[in-house]
Protein backbone atom coordinates (compact mmCIF):
# COMPACT_ATOMS: atom_id res chain seq x y z
CA UNK A 1 0.00 0.00 0.00
CA UNK A 2 1.44 3.39 -0.97
CA UNK A 3 2.05 5.97 1.73
CA UNK A 4 -0.28 9.01 1.48
CA UNK A 5 1.45 12.28 0.64
CA UNK A 6 -0.64 14.15 3.23
CA UNK A 7 -2.26 12.63 6.29
CA UNK A 8 -4.08 14.51 9.03
CA UNK A 9 -5.18 12.34 11.94
CA UNK A 10 -7.78 13.80 14.32
CA UNK A 11 -6.23 17.29 14.10
CA UNK A 12 -7.59 20.10 16.26
CA UNK A 13 -6.20 23.63 16.16
CA UNK A 14 -7.19 25.87 19.05
CA UNK A 15 -6.45 29.55 19.59
CA UNK A 16 -6.49 30.92 23.14
CA UNK A 17 -9.28 33.25 24.19
CA UNK A 18 -11.24 34.20 25.99
CA UNK A 19 -13.16 32.48 24.62
CA UNK A 20 -10.93 29.76 23.16
CA UNK A 21 -11.58 29.27 19.43
CA UNK A 22 -11.27 25.86 17.77
CA UNK A 23 -10.57 26.62 14.10
CA UNK A 24 -10.21 22.91 13.29
CA UNK A 25 -12.04 20.19 15.19
CA UNK A 26 -10.90 16.58 14.95
CA UNK A 27 -10.05 16.75 11.24
CA UNK A 28 -8.91 13.55 9.50
CA UNK A 29 -7.83 13.79 5.86
CA UNK A 30 -5.74 11.72 3.45
CA UNK A 31 -4.37 13.07 0.16
CA UNK A 32 -2.48 10.72 -2.13
CA UNK A 33 0.29 11.73 -4.52
CA UNK A 34 -1.24 13.11 -7.72
CA UNK A 35 -4.62 13.95 -6.14
CA UNK A 36 -6.52 17.14 -6.99
CA UNK A 37 -8.51 18.13 -3.91
CA UNK A 38 -10.91 21.05 -3.62
CA UNK A 39 -11.57 22.36 -0.10
CA UNK A 40 -14.67 24.53 -0.01
CA UNK A 41 -16.20 26.48 2.84
CA UNK A 42 -17.39 29.94 3.87
CA UNK A 43 -15.19 32.66 5.31
CA UNK A 44 -14.15 31.83 8.87
CA UNK A 45 -14.79 28.10 8.46
CA UNK A 46 -11.19 27.01 9.10
CA UNK A 47 -9.93 26.77 5.50
CA UNK A 48 -6.90 28.99 5.95
CA UNK A 49 -6.01 27.35 9.26
CA UNK A 50 -5.99 24.00 7.48
CA UNK A 51 -3.78 25.40 4.69
CA UNK A 52 -1.33 26.77 7.26
CA UNK A 53 -1.06 23.36 8.90
CA UNK A 54 -0.71 21.52 5.56
CA UNK A 55 2.00 23.99 4.52
CA UNK A 56 3.91 23.66 7.82
CA UNK A 57 3.25 27.31 8.64
CA UNK A 58 1.40 26.26 11.81
CA UNK A 59 1.20 23.21 14.06
CA UNK A 60 -1.81 21.22 15.28
CA UNK A 61 -2.81 21.71 18.92
CA UNK A 62 -3.88 18.06 19.02
CA UNK A 63 -3.47 15.22 16.53
CA UNK A 64 -0.90 14.22 13.92
CA UNK A 65 0.22 15.59 10.57
CA UNK A 66 2.30 13.24 8.43
CA UNK A 67 3.88 14.46 5.21
CA UNK A 68 5.00 11.64 2.93
CA UNK A 69 4.78 9.33 5.94
CA UNK A 70 6.99 11.47 8.19
CA UNK A 71 5.53 12.79 11.43
CA UNK A 72 5.99 16.58 11.32
CA UNK A 73 5.45 17.36 15.01
CA UNK A 74 9.03 16.40 15.91
CA UNK A 75 10.60 18.79 13.39
CA UNK A 76 12.29 21.97 14.61
CA UNK A 77 11.26 25.30 13.10
CA UNK A 78 14.39 25.26 10.89
CA UNK A 79 13.66 21.72 9.72
CA UNK A 80 10.06 22.68 8.95
CA UNK A 81 11.25 25.65 6.90
CA UNK A 82 13.64 23.40 4.96
CA UNK A 83 10.91 20.81 4.24
CA UNK A 84 8.51 23.59 3.22
CA UNK A 85 11.04 25.12 0.82
CA UNK A 86 11.71 21.79 -0.92
CA UNK A 87 8.37 20.11 -0.72
CA UNK A 88 5.52 22.67 -0.81
CA UNK A 89 4.50 25.44 -3.21
CA UNK A 90 2.03 28.18 -2.28
CA UNK A 91 -0.29 30.35 -4.37
CA UNK A 92 -2.33 33.04 -2.60
CA UNK A 93 -5.21 35.30 -3.56
CA UNK A 94 -3.12 38.47 -3.35
CA UNK A 95 -0.12 37.24 -5.42
CA UNK A 96 2.57 38.44 -2.91
CA UNK A 97 5.00 39.50 -5.64
CA UNK A 98 7.90 41.88 -5.01
CA UNK A 99 6.88 45.04 -6.85
CA UNK A 100 10.40 46.40 -7.36
CA UNK A 101 11.85 43.18 -8.72
CA UNK A 102 11.34 41.84 -12.24
CA UNK A 103 9.12 38.89 -13.02
CA UNK A 104 12.26 36.77 -13.48
CA UNK A 105 13.67 37.85 -10.10
CA UNK A 106 10.37 36.98 -8.38
CA UNK A 107 10.51 33.45 -9.78
CA UNK A 108 14.23 33.04 -8.96
CA UNK A 109 13.71 33.94 -5.31
CA UNK A 110 12.39 30.64 -3.83
CA UNK A 111 15.29 28.71 -5.31
CA UNK A 112 17.65 30.54 -2.95
CA UNK A 113 16.04 28.54 -0.12
CA UNK A 114 15.14 25.23 -1.74
CA UNK A 115 18.60 23.92 -2.54
CA UNK A 116 18.52 24.35 -6.33
CA UNK A 117 22.13 24.67 -7.57
CA UNK A 118 22.98 28.23 -8.62
CA UNK A 119 23.84 27.30 -12.22
CA UNK A 120 20.35 25.80 -12.75
CA UNK A 121 18.27 28.62 -11.34
CA UNK A 122 17.88 31.02 -14.26
CA UNK A 123 17.08 28.29 -16.78
CA UNK A 124 14.50 26.82 -14.44
CA UNK A 125 12.92 30.22 -13.80
CA UNK A 126 12.70 30.94 -17.53
CA UNK A 127 11.27 27.48 -18.19
CA UNK A 128 8.62 27.99 -15.48
CA UNK A 129 7.63 31.34 -16.99
CA UNK A 130 7.40 29.79 -20.45
CA UNK A 131 5.21 27.09 -18.94
CA UNK A 132 2.70 29.67 -17.67
CA UNK A 133 2.80 31.63 -20.93
CA UNK A 134 4.89 34.55 -19.70
CA UNK A 135 8.27 33.97 -21.33
CA UNK A 136 7.85 37.38 -23.04
CA UNK A 137 7.38 39.18 -19.69
CA UNK A 138 10.57 38.18 -17.84
CA UNK A 139 11.93 41.74 -17.57
CA UNK A 140 8.64 43.40 -16.61
CA UNK A 141 7.82 44.65 -13.13
CA UNK A 142 4.67 43.07 -11.63
CA UNK A 143 2.83 46.41 -11.56
CA UNK A 144 2.82 46.44 -15.38
CA UNK A 145 1.00 43.10 -15.59
CA UNK A 146 -2.69 42.26 -15.47
CA UNK A 147 -4.12 40.44 -12.48
CA UNK A 148 -4.18 37.17 -14.39
CA UNK A 149 -0.56 37.58 -15.46
CA UNK A 150 0.50 38.34 -11.89
CA UNK A 151 -1.24 35.20 -10.66
CA UNK A 152 0.53 33.17 -13.36
CA UNK A 153 3.87 34.59 -12.17
CA UNK A 154 2.87 33.46 -8.67
CA UNK A 155 2.15 29.97 -10.03
CA UNK A 156 5.54 29.89 -11.80
CA UNK A 157 7.23 30.93 -8.55
CA UNK A 158 5.33 28.23 -6.64
CA UNK A 159 6.35 25.40 -8.96
CA UNK A 160 9.90 26.42 -9.96
CA UNK A 161 11.45 24.43 -7.08
CA UNK A 162 9.48 21.37 -8.25
CA UNK A 163 7.46 20.82 -5.08
CA UNK A 164 5.42 17.67 -4.61
CA UNK A 165 2.47 19.55 -3.09
CA UNK A 166 0.90 22.81 -4.33
CA UNK A 167 -1.42 24.64 -1.93
CA UNK A 168 -3.61 27.35 -3.47
CA UNK A 169 -5.59 29.65 -1.14
CA UNK A 170 -8.44 31.44 -2.96
CA UNK A 171 -6.24 31.61 -6.11
CA UNK A 172 -9.02 33.15 -8.23
CA UNK A 173 -10.35 35.55 -5.60
CA UNK A 174 -8.98 38.67 -7.33
CA UNK A 175 -9.65 37.54 -10.91
CA UNK A 176 -12.55 37.86 -13.33
CA UNK A 177 -14.34 34.76 -14.54
CA UNK A 178 -12.42 34.30 -17.78
CA UNK A 179 -9.03 34.81 -16.16
CA UNK A 180 -10.03 32.50 -13.29
CA UNK A 181 -10.72 29.79 -15.84
CA UNK A 182 -7.29 30.27 -17.42
CA UNK A 183 -5.53 29.98 -14.05
CA UNK A 184 -7.53 26.85 -13.17
CA UNK A 185 -6.66 25.36 -16.59
CA UNK A 186 -3.00 25.93 -15.71
CA UNK A 187 -3.40 24.20 -12.34
CA UNK A 188 -5.01 21.24 -14.07
CA UNK A 189 -2.12 20.94 -16.54
CA UNK A 190 0.31 20.85 -13.61
CA UNK A 191 -1.81 18.22 -11.86
CA UNK A 192 -1.91 16.13 -15.04
CA UNK A 193 1.90 16.16 -14.94
CA UNK A 194 1.78 14.61 -11.46
CA UNK A 195 1.74 17.59 -9.08
CA UNK A 196 -0.51 17.07 -6.05
CA UNK A 197 -2.92 19.99 -5.85
CA UNK A 198 -5.04 21.30 -2.96
CA UNK A 199 -7.22 24.29 -3.85
CA UNK A 200 -8.95 26.09 -0.99
CA UNK A 201 -11.86 28.28 -2.08
CA UNK A 202 -15.26 29.64 -1.13
CA UNK A 203 -16.26 29.45 -4.82
CA UNK A 204 -18.29 26.31 -5.57
CA UNK A 205 -17.60 26.56 -9.32
CA UNK A 206 -13.85 26.53 -8.69
CA UNK A 207 -14.06 23.63 -6.24
CA UNK A 208 -16.18 21.57 -8.63
CA UNK A 209 -13.25 21.38 -11.05
CA UNK A 210 -11.34 19.23 -8.54
CA UNK A 211 -11.35 15.43 -8.79
CA UNK A 212 -12.36 15.19 -5.13
CA UNK A 213 -13.97 17.69 -2.79
CA UNK A 214 -14.30 18.21 0.93
CA UNK A 215 -16.23 20.87 2.81
CA UNK A 216 -15.04 22.55 5.98
CA UNK A 217 -17.68 24.21 8.11
CA UNK A 218 -17.22 25.45 11.67
CA UNK A 219 -13.88 23.64 11.77
CA UNK A 220 -15.26 20.21 10.84
CA UNK A 221 -14.47 18.39 7.61
CA UNK A 222 -16.87 16.34 5.51
CA UNK A 223 -16.36 14.56 2.17
CA UNK A 224 -18.51 15.72 -0.76
CA UNK A 225 -19.65 13.30 -3.44
Q: Is residue 1 part of a domain?
A: no
**Is the distance from CB of 21 to CB of 27 less than 8 angstroms?**
no
Category of 4 on φ-ψ map: left (φ > 0), alpha (ψ -120 to 50) or beta: beta
User: Is 106 a residue whose pLDDT tops 90?
Assistant: yes
What is residue 195's DSSP assignment?
-
Q: Is residue 32 part of a domain?
A: yes
**How many domains are contained in the chain?**
1
Q: Is residue 112 part of a domain?
A: yes
pLDDT bin (cut points 50, 70, 90) of residue 176 is confident
pTM of the model: 0.91
Q: What is the pLDDT of residue 58?
A: 94
Domain extent for 28:
6-224
DSSP 108-142: HGGGGTTT--HHHHHHHHHHHHHHTT-GGGTTS-G
Q: What is the pLDDT of residue 26?
A: 95
pLDDT bin (cut points 50, 70, 90) of residue 78 is very high
Q: How far apart are CA 132 and CA 185, in angstroms?
A: 10
Q: What is the pLDDT of residue 1?
A: 72
Averaged pLDDT for residues 102-118: 90
The CATH number of residue 155's host domain is: 3.40.50.300
By DSSP bridging, strand 165-169 and strand 196-201 are parallel
pLDDT > 90: what percent of the chain? 68
pLDDT bin (cut points 50, 70, 90) of residue 44 is confident
Using CA atoms in the order 73, 79, 83, 89, what is the torsion angle rounded to 10 degrees? 90
pLDDT bin (cut points 50, 70, 90) of residue 124 is very high
pLDDT bin (cut points 50, 70, 90) of residue 95 is confident
Amino acid sequence: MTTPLVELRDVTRSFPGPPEVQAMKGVTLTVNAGDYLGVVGPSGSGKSTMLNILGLLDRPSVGEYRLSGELTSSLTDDERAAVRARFVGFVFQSFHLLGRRTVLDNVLLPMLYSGVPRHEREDRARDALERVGLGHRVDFLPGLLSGGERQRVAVARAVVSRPRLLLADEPTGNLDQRTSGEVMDLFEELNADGLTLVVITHDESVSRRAHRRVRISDGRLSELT
